[in-house]
Amino acid sequence: MEKSLDLINARIRDGTARVVTAEEMPGIVDELGEEGALEEVDVVTTGTFGAMCSSGAFFNFGHADPPIRMERVWLNDVEAYAGIAAVDAYLGATQEADAKDRLYGGAHVLEELVAGSTVELRATSRGTDCYPRRSIVTELLLEDMNQAVMVNPRNAYQRYNAAANTTDRTLHTYMGTLLPRCGNVSYSGAGTLSPLANDPGFRVIGSGIPIFLAGAQGMVVGEGTQHSAGGGFGTLMVTGDMKRMRQEFLRAAVMNGYGVTLYVGIGVPIPVLDTGIVRSTAVRDEDILTDIIDYGTPRRDRPSLAKVSYADLRSGSVEVGGETIRTSSLSSYRRARAVALELKDWIERGKMELALPTRLLDPTKRSKPMRETAVSPRVRDIMNRQVISITEDEEIRVAAKRLLKDETNHLPVLDGNGTLVGIITTYDVSKAVVTDGKLRQVKDIMTRKVIKTTPDEPVDVAARKLEQNNISALPVVDTTNRVVGILSAIDLGKLFGGRRRR
């Protein structure tokens, strides 16, 4: 049995369409079977509400008198891109204001406009014969704009990797605050309610289909940037009229230590045309798997600590390496459910009919990494391979002589097997001197939590470790934690000094 879209839309128009949310669909399939669910259900509504940094809006402000060709534009001190036309601009959600007293950005401006607040428009220009004005400052409401069109390049991720942190310090990321030593796991996405999780083959989600976007009727433009559906990370580019949006589904937020983002509510209606669609919309949280990624590794390809399901994540804790770790969601499942329910209401009341894609999205596509034409230097390129070290059982006076003899300020400390267990500096030795001989061995004064690097780590990353930890050298270790070199601030100075001379 199959159903046509025309039949479904006819039922929507006459008020007889059976519409359910993606949260309800698995139970219906369990009760009626796939064929029975196909006969019973016409539309499945989905919803998600989470941080979607790749969002923003185009504005047309209208012409002033005398007219101005806006070359630089600010809205509440947040700069918008004005390289489009005389009085058009695009404001990105993550663009931050020229203000030091608070963290405020494009997302806040967008929310305030939707909430009915005024914003200050400030623009400058060189002036031309046809646009003689050189500056303007005025206040605008959303209704004063000719157009305010939200165009979000990358929204509604099919799924997200969860995040953890194996380092000894707290990390501030777009996945929220990650506590040291795997103190928490952060995740995002609405699981069974997520739009793309209910159509992973992109059979009915594609260009031109109607959607719920921040409380307004919107549309899918096409694949989102970084669309990588072949790996389970598909995205959508979406658009909608900001003048019809509502604040409850469009909220600015600040990720501490990271920056500004925008929470957006998106819902996609899925026409139930055949048993294949019945099967995909019966997805449960248990069926959606993702990796817990170690954000403590400052590289593009970070290691996976565990593979879990959304059911595991939503349970409140997961097990990683034999340890139970608490989980927390960056998304609002309650608000995602509200999106799906409101979209269901729209369709039941005939406010929205469905459409098939005018252009299909590629379910096999994978995004590519950046092509880098300049090779980033690695630690191995500049590290000092002549490492002076000491063992943990040697006396402090031996360490002092070694530091003086070899004119170094740092001694990696090794155990009996030759692996790194600590580090001491001239400062550690000088402090030991004033203890009147109470501290005798290197292990009594060494720092045990060693900040270190590896030969293949980018120099920029190693330099950031030095800066963040206020230290002047990093032991370089191999995969067995054996010291193969040492990287000092002097080594970095030679590298960056050479760059400046060139």
pLDDT tens-place string over residues 84-130: 999 999 999 999 998 777 799 999 999 999 999 999 999 999 999 99
Residues 6+ apart with CB under 8 A from 368: none
H or E element that contains 345 = helix 333-348
Peptide bond into 66 cis (omega under 30): yes
Q: How many CB atoms lie within 10 A of CB 380?
A: 17
Cα(292)–Cα(161) distance, rounded to whole angstroms?
6
Pairing of strands 304-309, 72-75: unpaired
pLDDT in tens, 324-378: 999 999 999 999 999 999 999 999 999 999 999 999 999 999 999 999 888 889 9
Cα(103)–Cα(255) distance, rounded to whole angstroms?
10
Cα(456)–Cα(297) distance, rounded to whole angstroms?
12
CB 354 within 8 A of CB 268: no
Please report which confidence band the pLDDT of residue 497 belongs to, taking 50, 70 and 90 as the band edges: low
Q: Is 291 helix (H, G, I), strand (E, B) or coil?
A: strand
Residues 6+ apart with CB under 8 A from 233: 157, 158, 159, 226, 227, 367
- The gap from C-alpha 105 to its chain's centroid, in whole angstroms, comes to 16
Cα(174)–Cα(159) distance, rounded to whole angstroms?
15
Cα 83 to Cα 62, 107, 120, 283, 301: the distances in Å are 16, 20, 19, 44, 34
What per-residue string of b and e applies to 6-41 under the rule 16 or more CB within 10 Å gives b?
Answer: eebbebbeeeebebbbbbbbbebbeeeebeebbeeb
Pairing of strands 269-271, 43-45: antiparallel
| Nearest partner of 225 among 235, 217, 233, 216, judged by Cα | 235
- The pair phi, psi for residue 223, each rounded to 5°, is -65, 145
- Percent of the chain past pLDDT 70, that is, above it, reads 98
Among 7-21, 233-247, 456-470, the least confident range: 456-470
Stretch 153-157: mean pLDDT, rounded? Answer: 98
Residue 500: what pLDDT?
40
Pairing of strands 236-241, 250-255: unpaired
Cα angle at 196 between 193 and 198, to 5 degrees? 60
- The pair of structure tokens assigned to 75 is 């809205």
- The pair of structure tokens assigned to 26 is 């698995």
Residue 484: what pLDDT?
95
Stretch 50-77: mean pLDDT, rounded? Answer: 98
- The pair phi, psi for residue 236, each rounded to 5°, is -125, 140
Average pLDDT over the chain, rounded to an integer: 94
Please report which confidence band the pLDDT of residue 416 belongs to, taking 50, 70 and 90 as the band edges: confident
Stretch 464-489: mean pLDDT, rounded? Answer: 92
Q: Residue 456 above 80 pLDDT? A: yes
Please report which confidence band the pLDDT of residue 491 belongs to, taking 50, 70 and 90 as the band edges: confident
Query: Catalytic residue positions?
Result: 130
pLDDT in tens, 238-259: 999 999 999 999 999 999 999 9
Q: Residue 501 above 50 pLDDT? A: no
pLDDT in tens, 391-405: 999 999 899 888 888
pLDDT in tens, 14-52: 999 999 999 999 999 999 999 999 999 999 999 999 999
Q: Is 460 helix (H, G, I), strand (E, B) or coil?
A: helix
CB 441 within 8 A of CB 396: yes
- The pair phi, psi for residue 296, each rounded to 5°, is -75, -10
CB 159 within 8 A of CB 232: yes
Residue 16: what pLDDT?
98
The single-letter DSSP state of residue 434 is T
Please report which confidence band the pLDDT of residue 502 belongs to, taking 50, 70 and 90 as the band edges: very low
Q: How many CB atoms lie within 10 A of CB 315?
A: 12
Question: Which amino acid is present at 361?
Answer: L
Q: Residue 76 above 70 pLDDT? A: yes
Q: Residue 77 above 70 pLDDT? A: yes
Cα(195)–Cα(119) distance, rounded to whole angstroms?
33
